[in-house]
């Protein structure tokens, strides 16, 4: 009985420790966001006040209005939405089909291809920026959203292929073999049987692809030089002045930047629970 009671006590302490760590992690994650929200709602651009209220006194949405009036925030949003959506769509299409090929078929160079795809993830994007820029200049594609989307797609595909392959490996091949017996083709069995089962992985792939393109700054700042074609991260950095910065408007712009990703996350949330365990179990 004593051992049983000790085990219960030990289990309770473990649960309390886990929840305590989660609470601390949530506080550390939410504090910067709440601080930005507070600054964006202040009537002035003062960074520090004696009040600890999240919603300050005389709170106003004037900074959000000024972000669209004083700056070209609407066009920045539109440009980023176009580039990120195109990168997301093509990345998902290529990753889903390529990963299925690596998972289900045997062909010469399969293992080498997977290894080479993995090797590309060892090099940071900043290291390949110079050759990419020279290639884009030779193709006369500077200040082009197409070039920007192609770079985003090429950098997101390797990770997405490995993630999708891990999920496909958990789906029994007997499902497709039954479809083949019934006369279904490879494409029909993939689109009607396998792809619906892979929705969690597809949703996670789409989210990662969109987030990577939406928040990327370094490549966009190099490829896009025209002030009329700036994407949202580059435009947000341009709001910083050399000697003075309107921190209220800047904080409002930062919250506007996070809004589309939050909406996409909420829309895909029902699929993410299964997608986060992609490839963890092979059956």
Helix axis angle, 2-41 to 247-275, nearest 10° = 140
Residue 283's pLDDT band, with cuts at 50, 70 and 90, is: very low
Reported as a single tens digit per residue, the pLDDT across 143-197 is 889 999 999 998 889 989 998 998 898 888 888 888 888 888 888 888 888 888 8
Reported as a single tens digit per residue, the pLDDT across 66-81 is 889 888 899 999 999 9
Query: Lowest-confidence range among 167-181, 241-255, 262-276?
Result: 262-276
3-state secondary structure of 201: helix
Under 8 Å between Cβ of 117 and 161: yes
Reported as a single tens digit per residue, the pLDDT across 95-123 is 999 999 998 888 888 889 888 888 887 87
Classify burial at 214, counting beta carbons within 10 Å of its beta carbon; exposed 0-12, middle 13-18, buried 19 or more: buried
Average pLDDT score, the chain = 83
User: CATH fold of 72-242+258-275, please?
Assistant: MetI-like fold (1.10.3720)
Q: Is the pLDDT of residue 275 over 70?
A: no
| pTM (2 d.p.) | 0.81
To which H or E segment does residue 117 belong? helix 110-119
Query: What whole-number distance in Å separates Cα of residue 39 and Cα of residue 115?
Result: 47
Domain boundaries, the chain: 72-242+258-275
């Amino acid at each position: 009985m004593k051992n049983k009671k000790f085990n219960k006590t030990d289990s309770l302490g473990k649960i309390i420790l886990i929840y305590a760590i989660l609470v601390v992690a949530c506080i550390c994650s939410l504090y910067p966001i709440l601080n930005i929200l507070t600054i964006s709602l202040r009537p002035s651009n003062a960074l520090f006040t004696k009040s600890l209220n999240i919603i300050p006194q005389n709170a106003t949405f004037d900074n959000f209005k000024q972000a669209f009036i004083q700056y070209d925030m609407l066009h920045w949003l539109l440009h980023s939405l176009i580039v990120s959506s195109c990168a997301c769509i093509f990345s998902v299409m290529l990753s889903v089909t390529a990963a299925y090929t690596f998972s289900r078929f045997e062909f010469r160079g399969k293992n080498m291809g997977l290894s080479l795809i993995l090797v590309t993830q060892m090099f940071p994007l900043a290291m390949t920026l110079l050759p990419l820029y020279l290639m884009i200049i030779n193709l006369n594609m500077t200040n082009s959203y197409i070039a920007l989307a192609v770079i985003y797609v090429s950098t997101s595909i390797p990770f997405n292929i490995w993630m999708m392959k891990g999920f496909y490996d958990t789906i029994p091949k007997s499902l497709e073999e039954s479809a083949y017996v019934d006369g279904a083709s490879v494409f029909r069995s993939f689109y009607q049987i396998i792809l619906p089962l892979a929705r969690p992985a597809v949703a996670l792939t789409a989210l990662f692809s969109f987030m990577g393109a939406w928040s990327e700054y370094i490549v966009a700042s190099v490829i896009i030089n025209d002030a009329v074609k700036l994407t949202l991260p580059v435009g947000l950095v341009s709001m910083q002045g050399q000697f003075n910065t309107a921190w209220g408007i800047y904080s409002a712009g930062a919250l506007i930047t996070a809004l589309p990703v939050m909406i996409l996350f909420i829309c895909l949330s029902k699929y993410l629970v299964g997608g986060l365990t992609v490839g963890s179990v092979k059956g």
